[in-house]
Structure 1
Amino acid sequence: MAKPDSQDLYETDYYAWVNRQLELLRTGQWEAADIQNLVDEIEDMAKKIKRELESRLKVLLMHLLKWQYQPDRRGSSWEMSIKTQRHDIPELLAENPSLKSKLEESITKAYRRAAYEAHIETGYPEEDFPPNCLWTFEQFMDASFWPDRFKD
């Protein structure tokens, strides 16, 4: 029985394709490797890591916004979420130091999503949330930072 080629395997059995590519790379059989799909997969890996950073920032910022806007609803789940992201974000950045160059862009993108989701979850008008993050990365990552309600 003939072995399926890499493209067929990629489309029909991803796990087998990955293991086959590993075998080819480990044994130096570069010409037999499915280079185009490997390139695509590596590119996707980089995108996933950046999306993970943005997702973690969004969760942190959304819970900080809800903490600020809904002091009467503060609870242990929001607190745990905030503390978890404050713990996990630095670990992600330590494992992927080049992400630090994307931090400002990621915060901007994450904040926009966080403000929108906080608007949906709180029921407050969208315009009640500032269009840009009011806190610096250092500030919102600081374990002692817990925002108070805006003073009118």
Structure 2
Amino acid sequence: MSELTQEYERDFYGWIQYHVELLRQGKLAEIDVDHLIEELESMSKSEKRELISRLVVLLAHLLKWQYQYQQLADRWQQTWQGGSWRGSIIEQRWQIMRQLQDSPSLKSYLPEALNQAYSPAVKIAIAETRLPLTTFPKICSYTLEQILDENYYP
């Protein structure tokens, strides 16, 4: 096992700092290429996972808003206004937009991320509302534009 591999396994942060310095100094021949590639690929996957995760939460709250909001507002004589759901919807939209600004190439991944996020979002909505599965569409009925529109509440 090479010294760089040992450092990677023993002290990841130190390994990163060392490689940052190697890159700054242009010492490319000394770089632990295999692990660097592995870490860059992992970073890419992490960005995708974060986008999907935020979409899951956003979609779950949009579904609850659409399918349960009025029922709860009626039950509590118009005093319930869904403030925590609204707050979560606003927060997730903001975080998604921030992520897309930081990594604009993720925009092309949005349709796939939406497809991956919808089913878990429905499961969360079912668990939290106790509404039957048949309440919710089998595929997402919201467009990406609606999902990200700060004024859209179904």
Does TM, normalized by the shorter one, top 0.5?
yes
Aligned residue number for residue 58 of structure 1:
56
Q: Tell me how far apart the structure 1 counterparts of residues 35 and 125 of structure 2 sit (CA, whole Å).
A: 38
Q: Contact between 1:67 and 1:74, CA under 8 Å: does it hold in 2?
A: no
Hey, what's the Cα distance between the residues in 1 that align with 2:124 and 2:60?
7
1:97 counterpart residue number: 104
Query: Could you tell me how far apart the structure 1 residues matched to 2:46 and 2:59 are?
Result: 20
**What are structure 1's unaligned runs of at least 5 residues?**
148-152
Structure 1: 4+ residue segments shifted above 4 A: none
Query: How high is the TM-score relative to the length of structure 2?
Result: 0.86
* Number of residue pairs matched by the alignment: 144
Percent of aligned positions that are identical: 45
Cα deviation, residue 125, structure 1: 2.2
1:23 to partner: Cα distance: 1.5
* CA deviation vs aligned residue, 1:107-151 (integer Å, no higher than 9, x gap): 11111111111112222222322111111011122222212xxxx
What is the root-mean-square deviation of aligned Cα atoms in Å? 1.6
C-alpha separation in 1, matches of 2:81 and 2:148: 18
Counterpart CA distance in 1 for 2:146 and 2:24 is 45
| Residue number in structure 1 paired with 2:77 | none
Q: Provide the C-alpha distance between the structure 1 equivalents of 2:14 and 2:88, rounded to a whole number of angstroms.
A: 37
Q: Deviations over 1:57-107 (max 9, x none)?
A: 111111111112221175322111101122221221122111111111111
Q: Which residue of 2 aligns with 1:82?
A: 89
CA distance in 2 between partners of 1:68 and 1:27 (Å): 55
Query: Which residue is equivalent to 2:137?
Result: 130
Unaligned stretches of 5+ residues in structure 2: 73-79
1:44 offset after TM fit, Å?
A: 0.6
